[in-house]
Amino acid sequence: MRMRLCVVVLVLGALALVRAAPADETKQGVKIEANRDSIEFRVGKALVGRYHIDAGVAKPYFWPLNVPGEVTVTRGWPMTEAEQGEPTDHPHQKSAWFCHGDVIPEGIELKDRIKGVAGVDFWSEAKGHGKIVCTDVGKPTHGKDHGQVKTRNEWRTADGQKILDETRTIHLHDLNGAYLLVLDIDLHASVCPITFGDTKEGSMGVRVRDSMTEKKGKGRLTNAEGKVGEKLIWGQKSPWVDYSGPVDVRESPGTVEVGITLFDDPGNPHPACWHSRGYGLSAANPFGRTHSGFPGTRDRKELVKMAKGDHLKLRYGILLHRGNAREAKVAEMYERFLKLKG
| Residues 244-259, mean pLDDT to the nearest whole number | 87
Domain region containing 257: 28-339
Domain CATH code at residue 131: 2.70.98
Strands 38-43 vs 30-34: parallel, antiparallel or unpaired = antiparallel
Q: What is the mean pLDDT of residues 82-99?
A: 90
Tell me the CA end-to-end span of the chain in Å, nearest whole number: 58
CA-closest candidate to residue 66, choices 259, 243, 220, 212: 259
Query: For residue 10, what pLDDT band results from cuts at 50, 70 and 90?
Result: very low
23 pLDDT more than 90:
no
For residue 60, is pLDDT > 50? yes
Tens of pLDDT along 114-139? 989 999 999 999 999 999 999 999 99
Q: Residue 114 domain-assigned? A: yes
- In this predicted structure, the answer to whether residue 274 has a pLDDT above a threshold of 50 is yes
Cα–Cα dist 81/317, whole Å = 28
pLDDT computed for residue 12 by the predictor: 37
pLDDT of residue 217: 78
Average pLDDT over residues 235-264: 92
- Judge whether residue 182 has pLDDT over 50: yes
Q: Is the dihedral of CA 134, 137, 143, 144 positive or negative?
A: positive
Can you tell me the mean pLDDT for 55-65? 97
Give the mean pLDDT of 235-259.
91
Confidence of residue 9 (pLDDT cuts 50, 70, 90): very low
Q: How many domains does the chain have?
A: 1
What whole-number distance in Å separates Cα of residue 273 and Cα of residue 252? 38
Nearest to 276 by CA among 58, 93, 124, 126: 93
pLDDT > 60? residue 19 = no
User: What is the residue-averaged pLDDT of the chain?
Assistant: 91
pLDDT tens for 203-239 read 999 999 999 999 987 999 999 999 999 999 999 999 9
Q: For residue 32, give Cα distances in angstroms to 22, 51, 60, 143.
A: 22, 10, 16, 10
pLDDT at residue 251, rounded to an integer: 66
Q: Provide Rg for the chain, Cα atoms.
A: 22
Distance between CA atoms of residues 86 and 75, nearest Å? 9
Residue 271: phi and psi, rounded to 5, are -60, 145
How would you write the chain as a 3-class SS string?
Answer: CHHHHHHHHHHHHHHHHHHHHHHHHCCCCEEEEECCCEEEEEECCEEEEEEECCCCCCCCEEEEEEECCCEECECCCCCCCCCCCCCCCCCCCCCEEEEECCEEECCCCCCCCCCCCCCECCCCCCCCCCEEEEEEECCCECECCEEEEEEEEEEECCCCCEEEEEEEEEEEEECCCEEEEEEEEEEECCCCCEEECCCCCEEEEEEECHHHCCCCCCCEEEECCCCECHHHHCCCECCEEEEEEEEECCCCCCEEEEEEEEEECCCCCCCCEECCCCCCEEEEECCCCHHHCCHHHCCCCCCEEECCCCEEEEEEEEEEEECCCCCCCHHHHHHHHHHCCC
**In this predicted structure, what is the pLDDT of residue 2?**
41
For residue 36, tell me if it sits in a domain.
Answer: yes
**Residue 134's closest CA among 39, 50, 64, 262?**
39
Single-letter code of the amino acid located at 131: K
Which residues does residue 237 pair with via DSSP β-bridges, in sequence order? 273
| Residue 342 pLDDT | 76
Of the candidate ranges 54-58, 80-84, 175-179, 328-332, the one whose mean pLDDT is the lowest: 80-84
Query: Tell me, what's the pLDDT at 72?
Result: 97
Predicted confidence (pLDDT) at residue 62 exceeds the cutoff of 60: yes
Q: Is the pTM of this model over 0.75?
A: yes
The answer to whether the beta carbons of residues 169 and 149 sit under 8 Å apart is yes
Residue 290 domain-assigned? yes
In a domain, 15, yes or no: no
In a domain, 19, yes or no: no
Confidence of residue 95 (pLDDT cuts 50, 70, 90): very high
Whether 3 has a pLDDT exceeding 50, the answer reads: no
Residue 1's pLDDT is: 43
**Interval 250-264 mean pLDDT:** 89
Whether the Cβ atoms of residue 167 and residue 66 lie closer than 8 Å to each other: no
Of 214, 180, 213, 209, the residue nearest 82 (C-alpha): 209
Note whether residue 231 is domain-resident: yes
d(CA 270, CA 312): 10
Residue 126 confidence (pLDDT): 92
Q: How far apart are CA 298 and CA 291, in angstroms?
A: 8
Look at residue 158 and tell me whether its pLDDT is greater than 50. Answer: yes
The sheet with strand 103-105 has its strands ordered as: 103-105, 194-196, 304-306
